[in-house]
A and B are shown apart, each in its own frame.
Chain A
Amino acid sequence: QKEVEQNSGPLSVPEGAIASLNCTYSDRGSQSFFWYRQYSGKSPELIMFIYSNGDKEDGRFTAQLNKASQYVSLLIRDSQPSDSATYLCAVTHYGGSQGNLIFGKGTKLSVKP
């Protein structure tokens, strides 16, 4: 059973701080990793994706991937109240009969002004 685990939170950080969101996955064959943001009552919105070990930066967001340890993280620098949302980690095993995304249940982030 392929699994993706996230701390449900809520993770509370003050405005301007760095928010660190973590995700672990069970399938060593996973190749592609995605972070989605979901505001309450809305649909998931893609923030970033990462395929290779290391860091990938996009504006205030940095995705970090460590395949040996089977974790992927998302850092949000200079957190803003508008970043308050649930963040979903999604992982895919590219190959086999499935190759679909497996989603974690999400971490709820609250940024306090």
Chain B
Amino acid sequence: DVKVTQSSRYLVKRTGEKVFLECVQDMDHENMFWYRQDPGLGLRLIYFSYDVKMKEKGDIPEGYSVSREKKERFSLILESASTNQTSMYLCASSLDRGAQPQHFGDGTRLSIL
């Protein structure tokens, strides 16, 4: 079974802090994704990566950056956290961007105070 592990289930940070969310997958997948999920807005893609050191902007990249130094690890960085970034953050990985499904981690519920 695919295992996608997110470093924290719950996280509370303060406005202006730099926040790191970590994601690790154990299936040697090429593709990794970061989403946020908010009530009424569904899943929105923040960034994705299809190879080590490669990254592409998704639909809502503003205020975020990512890092992929190793194939199994994809990090999401909130450069200066703001209250409107309070959300559920979901990491996913897939073998093939188009034909294969994405497998999700358990999610991180992030609160910015």
Contact = CB atoms under 8 A, between A and B. Distances in A.
A101 B105 CA distance: 16
Interface stretch (B14-22, B35-43, B61-69, B71-79): B35-43
A42 B101 contact: no
Contacts of A106: 42
Interface string B93-113: 000011111111111000000
Q: Is the interface of B mostly helix, strand, loop or mixed?
A: loop
Given A42-B106, A43-B107, A49 B101 contact: yes
A104 B44 CA distance: 10
Interface string B52-94: 0000001000000000000000000000000000000010000
Interface of B: 33, 40-43, 45, 48, 58, 90, 97-107
Interface of A: 31-32, 34, 42-46, 49, 51, 88, 90, 92-95, 99-101, 103-106
8 contacts: A42-B107, A43-B90, A44-B104, A90-B101, A92-B98, A99-B98, A100-B58, A104-B42
